[in-house]
């Protein structure tokens, strides 16, 4: 190993755009937009009007479009460190060395939590999961990869029922997170549904 921080040890980030440095004022605007979006996404959800975001950032709508040609691209930028946290969570859950069922349920809980970061986000994940090419799809592959780590471990322990595709589980959790959000009961509404999933995934 060479350095200590921000090592690219894994393969889930190599496709980063690698854009060259922006002009000073452009960079400032870029940051202001992302920060404004972060706040508004949290307060009003991931469908907040782009105009409002631009206004709140103090830039013209055209500037926002220059930096983020699509809403997806903006969401992507707002969720910059998200991928790493998901990956870290997967490993953390495994390191806890819990029983198989508890390992699975706490992981699924984290999954929902990560997906539900912003109102409306679960639906975006559901859409992006099979929509190759969009920026959000990158996040989804990270999600699938992290999930695979956990499932591989469970499989090694012989805990999985035959014929369960981990990818289907992610897809299902996507839907569960969306349903829980729309229930208005907060994302604790997901817990009983995740319990059913766990029983369906684990060997009887």
Partner DNA sequence: ACCTGAACACCGTTCAAGT
Residues that bind its own copies (CB under 8 A): 123, 126-127, 129-131, 161, 163-165, 168-169, 171-172, 174-180, 182-185, 189, 192-193, 195-201, 204
Specify the residue, 145 or 172, whose C-beta has the smaller distance to its own copies: 172
- Spatial separation of the C-alpha atoms in residues 154 and 156, rounded to whole Å: 5
Q: What residues from 71 to 130 belong to the interface with DNA (CB under 7 A)?
A: 71
Rg (CA), the chain: 19
Site string for DNA, 25-64 (x = CB under 7 A): xx--xx----------------x-xxxx-----xxxxxx-
Specify the residue, 28 or 161, whose C-beta has the smaller distance to its own copies: 161
Which stretches of 60-163 are DSSP H helices? 61-67, 71-78, 82-95, 100-115, 121-128, 135-156
- Spatial separation of the C-alpha atoms in residues 7 and 179, rounded to whole Å: 37
Q: Which does 29 bind (CB under 5 to 8 A by kind): DNA, its own copies, none?
A: DNA
Which residue is associated with the tokens 């012989």? 158
- Spatial separation of the C-alpha atoms in residues 68 and 199, rounded to whole Å: 42
Contact residues: DNA, CB under 7 A: 22-23, 25-26, 29-30, 47, 49-52, 58-63, 65-67, 69-71
């Amino acid at each position: 190993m060479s350095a200590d921080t921000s090592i690219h040890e894994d393969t889930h980030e190599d496709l980063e755009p690698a854009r060259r440095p922006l002009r000073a004022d452009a960079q400032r605007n870029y940051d202001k937009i992302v920060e404004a979006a972060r706040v508004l996404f949290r307060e009003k959800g991931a469908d907040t009007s782009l105009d409002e975001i631009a206004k709140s950032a103090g830039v013209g709508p055209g500037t926002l479009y220059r930096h983020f040609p699509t809403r997806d691209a903006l969401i992507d930028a707002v969720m910059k460190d998200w991928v790493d946290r998901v990956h870290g969570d997967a490993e953390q859950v495994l390191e806890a060395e819990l029983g198989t069922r508890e390992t699975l349920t706490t992981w699924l809980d984290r999954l929902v939590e990560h997906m539900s970061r912003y109102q409306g986000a679960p639906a975006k994940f559901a859409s992006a999961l099979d929509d190759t090419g969009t920026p959000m799809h990158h996040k989804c592959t990270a999600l699938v990869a992290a999930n695979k780590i956990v499932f591989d471990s469970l499989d090694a322990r012989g805990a999985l029922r035959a014929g369960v595709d981990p990818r289907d589980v992610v897809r299902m959790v996507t839907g569960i997170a969306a349903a829980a959000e729309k229930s208005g009961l907060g994302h604790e509404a997901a817990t009983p549904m995740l319990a059913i999933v766990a029983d369906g995934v684990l060997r009887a």
